[in-house]
Structure 1
Amino acid sequence: MGNVHLLATEQLTAHYGAAQALFGVDLAIDPGETVALVGANGTGKTTLLKCIMGLMKPSAGKVLLDGEAVTGQSPVQMVRRGLALTPEGREVFAHLTVVENLELGAAALKTGRREVARRMQAVFDRFGRLAERPDQAAGTLSGGEQQMLAMGRALMAQPRLLLLDEPSLGLAPLISDEIFTIIHQLSRSGVTILLVEQNAARALSASHKAFLMAGGRIVQQGRSQDLLVDPTLRAAFLGAASEEKPEASRLGAAGLTNIRLEKPDMHQHTFMPDFPDHHALAAHQLKGLQWTVRHAFEGSSFYRQRLEAAGVDPASIRSLDDIRRLPFTTADDLREFYPFPLRSVPFEQIVRVHASSGTTGKRKIIGYTQKDLDDWVHFFARCYEMAGVTPLDRVQIAVGYGIWTAGMGFQLGCEKVGAMAVPVGPGNIDMHIQFMQDVRSTVFCSTASMALLLAEEIQRRGIADQISIRKIIYGSERSSRSMRQKISELFGGAELFDITGLTELYGPGAGIECGDHDCIHYWGDYYILEIVDPETLQPVPDGEWGEMVVTTLCKEAAPLIRYRTRDITRIIPDRCTCGSVMPRHSRIKGRSDDTIKFRGVNIYPSTIDTILSAIPGLGSEYQIHLTRDERSGRDFLQLKIERGEGVEAGRTAELVHETVYQVKRQLLVSIEVELVDYGQLPRTQRKSQRVFDSRITDEIV
């Protein structure tokens, strides 16, 4: 038996005399969802709400609440069961005061005066304008204030399901913006909402899923973000409409014309390649490989020497297997031949440079031609598209700008896909929270550490219901499953997408997690990915872990030939369940050059992530401390771990014992564990340092 919906209708039919208004309507709403019901005037939206609320008796079919039939029950009974309606036209009691109107919202529940006062204060906290005029007659309020009053009156019943009928009807655009901000906040606070709206663009952007009505029937349904950009849907509902004659569409004034007029090119454009299968992709890769080898051979003295030493002539590249004949390139090469070791075009064709952080020596400087930048922006927009970002999103960017690649990539890709960029940069926490509240950002781009830091601060301030973030795109560092889950929960169920990339390979955006969240899709039309054994440098079979090696296919200024990234991952064979033809690899497990060697065992930090994530009661933040006893020469590994939020200190001994046991069982080493209070370990806006190795005291050159 499937999950029971909070509310459902089954084959609901309704008549006004001999005229039929609803024709077998099936609809379902689950707890915590905001569901949009979209359609033009006269399609049956309000009739459906009346049947649900008990204001109208359906001719046939059922209304189910928690799986129980409640068809035909009175409005008072429905309020007592947890439903509340904000009717079309607001219908406030004009001669009663604001306070008296609000009191009527709880009248059917026979709630005590103290509880009524508590609920009223909560309404005033949410609707500041009403708090300023509690004794003012409702009929003298503005249209927007009356809508707030109608919504506040419904919230006095503390409903499990709030029905909103045309909340923006007749309101000025700025007031409508304010009303929809409140709807977003209600949704973020966990209120389940059924939103009836003619303005489809607004309704779809404010909801999780949607049902589209025409002629008393549900004619389309699905995830709101998919319906927003569905060209078939738009064609079917817009008909012959144009900018000059929007009324010519079947939904005329319903607001779907708004979608058509807002950034129209962006809604129809896709940044995904059109390869029908992997054979077509392989043919493209061979052409790109041949071009890259010839381009590098002819344009770079560095590459010419390497290729000649390997006995490779550009004309000898006849198949993709020939890539194994090519020499490897490393970060050491970039530093040794600093500052432009890979340059393969004249300087006058280079329009920009970016560089890595240079934490282990000289910075790796990479040049870009205009085509390189155009390609980078194109596949970065592809990342946003795969994450479901649309032109209606507002993307807040919290990564570094300047010589680093991150900020520019995130911003230009965002603008390419047509979304609104909010380029705050690393910034301070106060600034980010202010922009999230004021601009109502829907997508947040940062490191995982920054996302966790911000999420915890939002919870500490108690403003989660004022934040509209629904997607988080993060990169630049590894993150455990528990850390991802914690970030998602603190952001109210936001969807997380791990994005990959490195400075040498254009920058971030070289691949991204898809909506099925079981892999990273990488852009095989821009580079070839190999997985090799980091010791022998021999290829490993698909599915086995090894070091990622990349070869670019069309990069002009600084092409890469078998560049050792040091990232550890594995190729996942077969086509993804999401349907994309793009090849895929696992999330980055670690690096071949930061493996912890402890008592003869190679340990990746991500393995520690995995072990700790599986122990209930532990937090997501931890540190690995490696020390050495000078007298015995024996190494020691201590894990310093936060307890989970709300976990009592009395569980310390139990959690320490379980952690020691699991590490011993899975890694075959004995460790020490120290548990600290939640929030005690430092958070950072950049990458968190997790490994502290004091065994090596001499300077590393």
Structure 2
Amino acid sequence: MLSIRRLTAHYGAAQALFGVDLEVGRGETVALVGANGAGKSTLLRCVMGLVRPSGGSIVLHGDEVTHLPPARMVRRGLALSPEGREVFGTLSVLENLELGAVPLALKAAEKSRRLEEIFSRLPKLRERRSQLAGTLSGGEQQMLAMGRALMAGPKLLLLDEPSLGLAPLVTDEIFAIIHQLARAGTTILLVEQNAARALSASDHAYLLANGRIVEHGASRDLLNDAALRTAFLGASTENPAASRLGAAGLTNIRLEKPDMHKLDFMPTFANDDELQAHQLRGLQWTVRHAYEGSAHYRRKLEEAGVAPADIRELGDLRRLPFTTGVDLRDGYPFPLRAVPFEQLVRIHASSGTTGKRKVLCYTQKDLDDWEFFFARCYQMAGVTPLDRVQIAVGYGVWTAGVGFQAGCEKIGALAVPVGPGNIDMQIQFLLDFQSTVFCSTASMALLMAEEIHRRGIADKIAVRKIIYGSERSSRSMRRKISELFGGAELFDITGLTELYGPGSGIECTDHDCIHYWSDYFLLEIVDPETLEPLPDGEWGEMVVTTLCKEGSPLLRYRTRDITRIIPGPCTCGNLMPRHSRIRGRSDDTIKFRGVNIYPSSIDTILSATPGLGSEFQIHLTRDEAGRDHMRLVVERAEGVEAGRGPELSREVAYQMKRQQLVSVDVELVEYAGLPRSERKSQRVFDNRIQDEIV
């Protein structure tokens, strides 16, 4: 949109700008950061036509505008909110706003429309529309200056030192408005001394010193580059003025946690050979640890004729016996335990609601490992210490929320641990805390997206990334969530209770796969029927073997999740191997709104309800809005009259809500109304995803 080339400017004999190059793309917020006297305001005044450049060019929308006067620049789509506000103190708020549109000669109707838009965005100005501008507080005058500029309907908004002289809380309010403008599509060139504020609020930044651009790049990279902070931004509390921009507030960027910007949670293997050597050591340790610590595993290994010493290469993994969910339920409450009780610090349990849950025990090292690679997930998604992470995932014995929170705090971001549900509070927190990352199930993310759209607040929230898991999602569902959230980037995170919890893998920024942490577990794909390993690229059941898990190690655990290993390196450059997003299950487990439901548990409910037959079907659908629905079709018992249908339907719905924690639609049919089969009857009809998932 704006291209500045080799711009110079003088005040008499004094040169203020020395060959400045700068670009602003459509829809971007670009920050120009520098100390007092660096030339920031001069550059804005040159762009606006208030100062005549002595050299170089300014191109707007492809047209040369270097020497155009301010009124013509306004008509070309520019507006300036100047340093010091420059409001007309003896005029009312309304009169000040109207001045912003004078160069455009707007008709009355259009002027009224723009005023109403500004009042809705800046409600304090509506309250004070008749008040003299000179009687407003500093923050209110800054809002007025911004509102006056917005009256011109700018395609490019120039903001000069919007936080100058304002208290921190008022600055928060001003920058929240700036963010809302950016989310609404306004292109912004922001000049600011407070570098922490400017870099946090922008996409790209230019650092100006003594009239010259000395550094530029993505704002988040500039904030989180440890070497840059030390060498240029002045990350030193002993002598901040010694840095080239020390006086510009750059020394206040989260220096209380400097190490957070240096932490790297990615593995350090140089190549696949180093990774495989690490995996072999982990596999050998795990087999010996399971053999020596777990009576269950010792028995299974002996039955398979495998001893720890037999594991000499990674290919020996196939000699190990499989572990299944039945093993976990039979060993309840501490299945697969391989350490003394005094070493255990926590249990994790599955989200399922049938019978005895799958419960796994964990040592402190297990939890430390989980926290570490969960932070790795956040790192791969681009989350930094500057983010505010709203966690709308369950807490309690199903400990997903704890993992999201621990990884968030490990990477140094601000955790907002709300938990699931409570849409009104979720929305309020998004607005109040300006959360930049939202973590939830896919269905919760869709529900939030629809509510954000219904309330028309997409431009008032700050969410730029959504990390979701627990449920399958199609490309169309992901696209809808992103659009309704105002263009947020989605990351599918994987995991299961038996394997620590969520965080065992996440998609990268290229968004075509899931990178999984193969330095913590091995992943195989097997044929669900024959249990024979399948080659990379073929769909099958995921089987996992842990490499360092102490409390409850896993040997070839059948997850029942259907996916495939993607061969070859990822275009993102990360060494960690990849699998596709989860396509389904190899058993008849239903994942519905984040809860594992087994048809056998539904059968138990129906069998305990007098008046119902033994045959039933479960139909899962997804409506146009993307919400999942379950319809339960049940036969009446033989001889039960149709008039009892409403009563029986209400009872089934009540028991499903009470025992399975889900709401269902119940449809009763006459006895023998459902088809019979000599083979296993098909009970589950999952029609939720019609398009691609990968």
Identify whether the pair has TM-score above 0.5, normalized to the shorter chain: yes
Q: Tell me what 1:441 maps to.
A: 435
**Residues 1:126 and 2:95 are matched in the alignment:** no
Distance 2:664 2:40 in 1: 54
In the TM superposition, 1:64-463 aligns within 5 A as: 64-239=59-234, 242-463=236-457
Distance 1:568 1:11 in 2: 57
In the TM superposition, 1:494-533 aligns within 5 A as: 494-533=488-527
The one-character-per-residue Cα deviations of 1:68-104 (angstroms, maximum 9, x if unpaired) are: 2222111111111111111111111122221111111
Distance 1:689 1:233 in 2: 56
Distance 2:415 2:618 in 1: 44
Q: Tell me what 1:622 maps to.
A: none
Q: Tell me what 1:545 maps to.
A: 539
3-state secondary structure, aligned to 1:8: strand
Which amino acid in the other structure matches residue 232 of structure 1?
A
Distance 2:380 2:370 in 1: 15
3-state secondary structure, aligned to 1:479: coil
Sequence identity of aligned pairs in percent? 73
Aligned match of 1:63 in 51, 58, 64?
Answer: 58
- Does the 8 A contact of 2:378 with 2:408 survive in 1? yes
- Does the 8 A contact of 2:617 with 2:682 survive in 1? no
Q: Kindly state the Cα deviation for residue 643 of structure 1 after the two structures are TM-superposed.
A: 5.0
Please say which of residues 515-524 and 213-222 is displaced more in the overlay.
213-222
Aligned residue pairs total 618
Distance 1:640 1:550 in 2: 30
Distance 1:234 1:173 in 2: 23
Distance 1:77 1:350 in 2: 72
**Residues 1:593 and 2:587 are matched in the alignment:** yes
Distance 1:488 1:688 in 2: 26
Q: Kindly state the Cα deviation for residue 26 of structure 1 after the two structures are TM-superposed.
A: 2.6
Distance 2:78 2:404 in 1: 42
Q: Kindly state the Cα deviation for residue 544 of structure 1 after the two structures are TM-superposed.
A: 2.0
Residues 421 and 287 of structure 1: CA distance in aligned 2, closer, same or farther (over 3 Å): same
The one-character-per-residue Cα deviations of 1:282-310 (angstroms, maximum 9, x if unpaired) are: 11111111110000000000000111111
- Does the 8 A contact of 2:233 with 2:246 survive in 1? yes
Please say which of residues 473-482 and 582-591 is displaced more in the overlay.
582-591
Distance 1:695 1:323 in 2: 43
Which amino acid in the other structure matches residue 138 of structure 1?
A
3-state secondary structure, aligned to 1:295: helix
Output the TM-score relative to the length of structure 2: 0.85
Which amino acid in the other structure matches residue 341 of structure 1?
P
3-state secondary structure, aligned to 1:42: coil
**Residues 1:17 and 2:12 are matched in the alignment:** yes
Output the TM-score relative to the length of structure 1: 0.84
Which amino acid in the other structure matches residue 403 of structure 1?
V
Distance 1:502 1:426 in 2: 18
Distance 2:534 2:14 in 1: 70
Which amino acid in the other structure matches residue 471 of structure 1?
K
Q: Tell me what 1:666 maps to.
A: none
Distance 1:566 1:689 in 2: 25
- Does the 8 A contact of 2:230 with 2:236 survive in 1? no
3-state secondary structure, aligned to 1:351: strand
- Does the 8 A contact of 1:124 with 1:131 survive in 2? yes
- Does the 8 A contact of 1:449 with 1:687 survive in 2? no
3-state secondary structure, aligned to 1:164: strand
3-state secondary structure, aligned to 2:459: helix
Q: Kindly state the Cα deviation for residue 169 of structure 1 after the two structures are TM-superposed.
A: 1.0
Distance 1:640 1:178 in 2: 43
Distance 1:527 1:688 in 2: 36
Distance 1:687 1:373 in 2: 31
Distance 1:391 1:288 in 2: 31
Which amino acid in the other structure matches residue 238 of structure 1?
L
Q: Kindly state the Cα deviation for residue 359 of structure 1 after the two structures are TM-superposed.
A: 3.7
Distance 2:565 2:38 in 1: 50
Distance 1:638 1:338 in 2: 31
Q: Tell me what 1:654 maps to.
A: none
Q: Kindly state the Cα deviation for residue 595 of structure 1 after the two structures are TM-superposed.
A: 9.8
Residues 394 and 12 of structure 1: CA distance in aligned 2, closer, same or farther (over 3 Å): same
3-state secondary structure, aligned to 1:265: helix
Distance 1:451 1:338 in 2: 33
Which amino acid in the other structure matches residue 15 of structure 1?
H
Q: Kindly state the Cα deviation for residue 360 of structure 1 after the two structures are TM-superposed.
A: 4.6
The one-character-per-residue Cα deviations of 1:181-228 (angstroms, maximum 9, x if unpaired) are: 111111122211111112121112112222222333333322222222
Distance 1:147 1:695 in 2: 71
Which amino acid in the other structure matches residue 98 of structure 2?
E
Q: Kindly state the Cα deviation for residue 427 of structure 1 after the two structures are TM-superposed.
A: 2.6
In the TM superposition, 1:599-618 aligns within 5 A as: none
Which amino acid in the other structure matches residue 106 of structure 1?
A
Residues 156 and 378 of structure 1: CA distance in aligned 2, closer, same or farther (over 3 Å): same
Residues 689 and 381 of structure 1: CA distance in aligned 2, closer, same or farther (over 3 Å): farther
Q: Which structure 1 segments of 5+ residues have no match?
A: 1-5, 597-603, 606-634, 646-685
Q: Kindly state the Cα deviation for residue 431 of structure 1 after the two structures are TM-superposed.
A: 0.9
Which amino acid in the other structure matches residue 535 of structure 1?
E
Distance 2:442 2:621 in 1: 19
Distance 1:409 1:384 in 2: 11
- Does the 8 A contact of 2:360 with 2:498 survive in 1? yes
Distance 1:418 1:290 in 2: 34
Aligned match of 1:54 in 31, 49, 63?
Answer: 49
Distance 2:104 2:317 in 1: 74
Distance 2:366 2:282 in 1: 14
Q: Which structure 2 segments of 5+ residues have no match?
A: 593-615, 627-660, 669-673, 684-694
Q: Kindly state the Cα deviation for residue 130 of structure 1 after the two structures are TM-superposed.
A: 2.1
Residues 195 and 688 of structure 1: CA distance in aligned 2, closer, same or farther (over 3 Å): farther
Q: Kindly state the Cα deviation for residue 447 of structure 1 after the two structures are TM-superposed.
A: 0.9
Distance 2:174 2:318 in 1: 61
Distance 1:345 1:274 in 2: 29
Residues 172 and 638 of structure 1: CA distance in aligned 2, closer, same or farther (over 3 Å): closer
Distance 2:662 2:186 in 1: 35
Q: Tell me what 1:489 maps to.
A: 483
Q: Tell me what 1:618 maps to.
A: none
3-state secondary structure, aligned to 1:499: strand
Distance 2:681 2:576 in 1: 46
Q: Tell me what 1:653 maps to.
A: none
Q: Kindly state the Cα deviation for residue 575 of structure 1 after the two structures are TM-superposed.
A: 2.5
Q: Kindly state the Cα deviation for residue 505 of structure 1 after the two structures are TM-superposed.
A: 0.2
